Structure formats: structure tokens, C-alpha cells
Amino acid sequence: MASWDYSPAPESTDVVRIRDDYGLFIGGEFVEPAAGEYSKTINPATEEVLAAVPVADERDVGRAVSAAAKAFKRWSALAPGERARYIFRIARVIQERSRELAVLETMNGGKPIRESRDLDVPLAAAHFFYHAGWADKLEFAFPGRTVEPLGVAAQIIPWNFPLLMLAWKIAPALATGNTVVLKPAETTPLTALEFASICEEVQLPAGVVNIITGAGATGAALVRHPDVDKVAFTGSTEVGKEIQRAVAGTNKKVTLELGGKAANIVFEDAPLDQAIEGIVNGIFFNQGHVCCAGSRLLVQESIAERLMDKLKRRLQTLKLGDPLDKNTDIGAINSREQLNKIKSLVGSGVDEGAELYQAECELPERGFWFPPTVFTGVSQSHRIAREEIFGPVLSVLTFRTAEEAVEKANNTPFGLSAGVWTEKGSRILWMADRLKAGVVWANTFNRFDPSSPFGGYKESGYGREGGRHGLEGYVR
């Protein structure tokens, strides 16, 4: 048990001004949805209603796509250095308004302020800075080739990193001369709508970025729209497959970033205390709502007991509670729907005979919460070893040899990321060669950088985001 306590240290919410209701950002203006329909967005830590947000229908999608198509002519013809300046200004304003954006992200999504402040928002700014740099250097990104933008990019993002996923999508699209219609997830629209006001602030030409809100039906209408030239999606594998069916036989270019079930592999020679921090970060970062989360821990048998003791002790020190508190490690689950999914998969783990361990912690009365959870005695056939839980739930398996570790790690329909913990450099390279994952981290986990491409194998999707590779998805 922890031998000390923290006093509450809540971040002030004075810095954000949330409106009662929002409009759709189309052609540089906030407009009402054609059907006049709105849905309420809440704070998942308190269940308090934050704002009413429009539900865009087919007519609104049509308006947004034509605004983007109209803006494309001017935007793509602009001198690349001019485009770079707009993108650079966006990055600067994100930095200037970082505190406000971090608080808003935490209020709407439930993630700890420590993460939105130190990771989501700075990385979002970094993505715009990085891509501002590419805008006038595309001939160096594609040496010997002449590339052209595609046109209108339809971008659909999830709720786990709302502003960061927006940045991953919009920055490369603008840098390569495309225009955008972006739809945030229905549970976390507020930072995207705030981003619309950043576009106004930097005087981005009207229609270059359009933000429409709504749920799955809005996303589906956007994907199907005939004047869309590119679809970029991050979310569930199920919807990814649907999108693939919807664009089959069209000329739309598609990139999909879908789920994962990453193996975090710890060898007996690994620095154990460091590995414990990597395991905790790998699965409890953002309540485990991370596509590349290290949700399967593979431990070499000889150290399994010692590592589990240490891990259980570490779990007891994690602070769960108010996401706005600067000491909080584990915030709220993003939605009731996601909480139910986590509960149901954890239930299946118990039913199938795995052994459950949960940190003792008090869950707040209101809001959606799930305690840090570890399953031992997990076999490869268990659902908790195969399906993406997308919550603070770790499944532990053991292995004896490196070959066995590789076989178990690759025994999944996914292939987004993996982690390797060992003192031996040669073993890291040997493993990285054999792991079927888009990213392999060595003696660390969940590291992100705009210059480093990110993406998956198999059912984790295709195409890369970030780096030079990420530009490829936005040009012909």
C-alpha cells in the first residue's frame, strides 16, 4: 500500500468557455444543421452535460464536401510556402491555447490532465509544426517524382485522443494541398469544434477545413459522398471493414488505422523496475483506451513470479479519480458504452478461468470508472487474450524461449505495436525482425513522434501516419 497521500490538486476550469450549443463548421462559418437535430455531450467523470452538438445529416455532409471541393482549387494552387505559414500558425495557436485545450480535452474525454497537458496537446502542436516543414519540401519527400494532392479528404477519428488524432489527420492533408472534412467521435467533439475556431483565428481560407459532428450515420454518409477523394479513418476494425466495403469500386484512396492487441515482452535479463514502469504505461495510459496499448504481457517464466509481485505493488500506488486533478494516473472511462464493453470482456475472463487481480481503490459515485486490472493464468484461446478490450485490463501470459515469445506475440489478427524488454541489443534486433507489428518499442513503450511513421499489419489496418511515409496517403 502507498505510505503517503496527496492533497487534491485540481486544475482550474476557468480557462475554458464552453458554449451551450455549437454549430457545424462549414465554409468558414458555424452553421445550424439542416434537420435542426442536436445531441448532448457529457463529462464522463461526472455525467454532467457540457454542450449540445449538431448531428449532421446527408445534406450537411453535402454542404461540407462542396465547401471543401470549392476551397481545393485555391488551396492547392497556393504557393507551398504560404500553406506552410498557415500550418505553422495553427501550431503556434495550439501552443498558446494549450492549457485551455488540455482542460477541455480532459473534461470531455475523461483522460487525466497530466496526459492531455503533457502529451496530447504538445504532440498535436508538434504534428502541425512538423508538417508545416514538409509543405514546401515535398520534392525532397518524393525525390524524382512529381506529386499532386488528391482533393477532398474525409477524415473520421475516434474518442481516445481527440485533438491528437485530428492533428494526425489534418496536418498532412493540408501540407500536401488537400482540403478536409473531419468528423470527430460523438462522445468527444469539443476540442475539434475549438479547433474550428483556431482555423478562424489564423484566417485559414474558408472551406479548407470543415468540421462536422454526428455519430456513425454521419460518418457513413461522409465516406459514401461521391466528391470525396480520400478517406482516412481511425477506429474499430469493424467500422474499418465497413468503410472498405463502402469505397470498393470507387477511386477513393483509403488509409485505415484500426485496433490492436500488442504484446509487451519481458525477458529475464530486463531491467525489472524499468520494465514495470513500461508495463504500467503500456496498459494504464489513457485508461487503456489506446490502439497500440501493451494489453498482452508476455513474461519469461523464470521471472514471472517476481515481476507479478512488483507489478501488483505498483498497481496499488496508481491514483484513480478526478481527471482534472494533477496527481491522477487513471481517469474516467470514456463512455458508459465502453465501460459496459470492458465489464463484459472482464466477465468473460473470469468465466473462462483466468485469475483476476484488481488494485484496491474507491471508485467515484458518478461517472464511468474501472479499476486497474490484471489477469494471470491466461491462455491464448481466452477472449481476453484475443480481443481488444480498450480498457485498463492487462492479460499476462508466460514463455520460455524467444521463439515461443515471437510465436505467441504474432498469434493475433492484429499487428499494430509490440514492446521488447531485454538488456541484449542483438536480441532486440532479432525480435524486431520477427514481430509482425508496425511499431516495435525496445525498453520503452508508447513513444510517439511526428517524424516516426505509425500504422499496422493485418486487421490493424493499412497505410502509415506520420513521417515521410504518412504524406504518401495524401498524394497521387
- Closer residue to ligand NAI in complex, CB, 158/473: 158
Q: Is 242 in the site for ligand NAI (CB under 6 A)?
A: yes
User: Would you say 205 and 236 are in contact if contact means Cβ atoms under 8 Å apart?
Assistant: no
x/- contact string, 244-263, with ligand NAI (CB under 6 A)?
A: --------------xx----
Near ligand NAI by CB under 6 A, which window of 117-125, 171-179, 229-237, 375-383?
229-237
Q: 85, 99, 336, 341: which one contacts ligand NAI (CB under 6 A)?
A: 341
Closest contact distance (angstroms) between CB of 432 and ligand NAI is: 22
- Closer residue to ligand NAI in complex, CB, 177/456: 456
- Closer residue to ligand NAI in complex, CB, 215/318: 215
Q: In this structure, what are the phi and psi dihedrals at residue 256, rounded to the nearest 5 degrees?
A: -125, 130
Near ligand NAI by CB under 6 A, which window of 71-79, 231-239, 315-323, 438-446?
231-239
Which among 11, 186, 257, 459 is annotated as catalytic?
257
Q: 62, 122, 216, 377: which one contacts ligand NAI (CB under 6 A)?
A: 216
x/- contact string, 382-401, with ligand NAI (CB under 6 A)?
A: ------x-x-----------
- Name the residue with the smallest CB distance to ligand NAI: 219
Residues 180-209 binding ligand NAI (CB under 6 A) are 183, 185-186
Which residues are bridge partners to 38 per DSSP?
A: 54
Q: 239, 315, 330, 420: which one contacts ligand NAI (CB under 6 A)?
A: 239
Closest contact distance (angstroms) between CB of 290 and ligand NAI is: 7
- Closer residue to ligand NAI in complex, CB, 287/398: 287
Residues 128-157 binding ligand NAI (CB under 6 A) are 156-157
Please compute, for residue 436, the number of CA atoms within 13 A of its CA located in the half-sphere on the CB side.
16
> Of 212, 204, 214, 205, which is closest to residue 228 (Cα–Cα)?
212
Q: How far apart are CA 95 and CA 100, in angstroms?
A: 10
What DSSP assignment string belongs to 129-141? HHHHHHHT-HHHH
Q: Is 441 in the site for ligand NAI (CB under 6 A)?
A: no
Closest contact distance (angstroms) between CB of 337 and ligand NAI is: 7
Closest contact distance (angstroms) between CB of 386 and ligand NAI is: 12
Q: How far apart are CA 342 and CA 376, in angstroms?
A: 17
The length of the chain is 476
Closest contact distance (angstroms) between CB of 186 and ligand NAI is: 5
Catalytic: 407? no
Angle between helix 304-315 and 272-284 (nearest 10)? 60
Q: How far apart are CA 118 and CA 98, in angstroms?
A: 10
Closest contact distance (angstroms) between CB of 64 and ligand NAI is: 14
- Closer residue to ligand NAI in complex, CB, 234/398: 234
> Of 199, 207, 204, 209, which is closest to residue 97 (Cα–Cα)?
199
Q: Are strands 29-31 and 24-26 parallel, antiparallel or unpaired?
A: antiparallel
Q: 52, 147, 215, 272: which one contacts ligand NAI (CB under 6 A)?
A: 215
Closest contact distance (angstroms) between CB of 317 and ligand NAI is: 27
Using only C-alpha atoms, the chain has a radius of gyration, in whole angstroms, of 22
- Closer residue to ligand NAI in complex, CB, 104/228: 228
Q: How far apart are CA 241 and CA 20, in angstroms?
A: 36
> Of 169, 100, 182, 67, which is closest to residue 128 (Cα–Cα)?
169
User: Would you say 446 and 467 are in contact if contact means Cβ atoms under 8 Å apart?
Assistant: no
CB-count burial class (<10 Å; 0-12, 13-18, 19+) for 434: middle
Catalytic: 291? yes
Which among 291, 388, 459, 465 is annotated as catalytic?
291
Q: Is 41 in the site for ligand NAI (CB under 6 A)?
A: no
Which residues are bridge partners to 209 per DSSP?
A: 180
Residue indicated by cell numbers 472498405: 244
> Of 45, 334, 344, which is closest to residue 188 (Cα–Cα)?
334
Closest contact distance (angstroms) between CB of 185 and ligand NAI is: 4
The DSSP 8-state label assigned to residue 59 in this structure reads H
User: Would you say 415 and 436 are in contact if contact means Cβ atoms under 8 Å apart?
Assistant: yes
The DSSP 8-state label assigned to residue 437 in this structure reads -
User: Would you say 94 and 125 are in contact if contact means Cβ atoms under 8 Å apart?
Assistant: yes
- Closer residue to ligand NAI in complex, CB, 149/158: 158
> Of 386, 387, 376, which is closest to residue 353 (Cα–Cα)?
376
Chain positions contacting ligand NAI, by CB under 6 A: 156-158, 160, 183, 185-186, 215-216, 219-220, 223, 234-236, 239, 242-243, 258-259, 291, 338, 341, 388, 390
Q: What is the set of active-site residues?
A: 257, 291
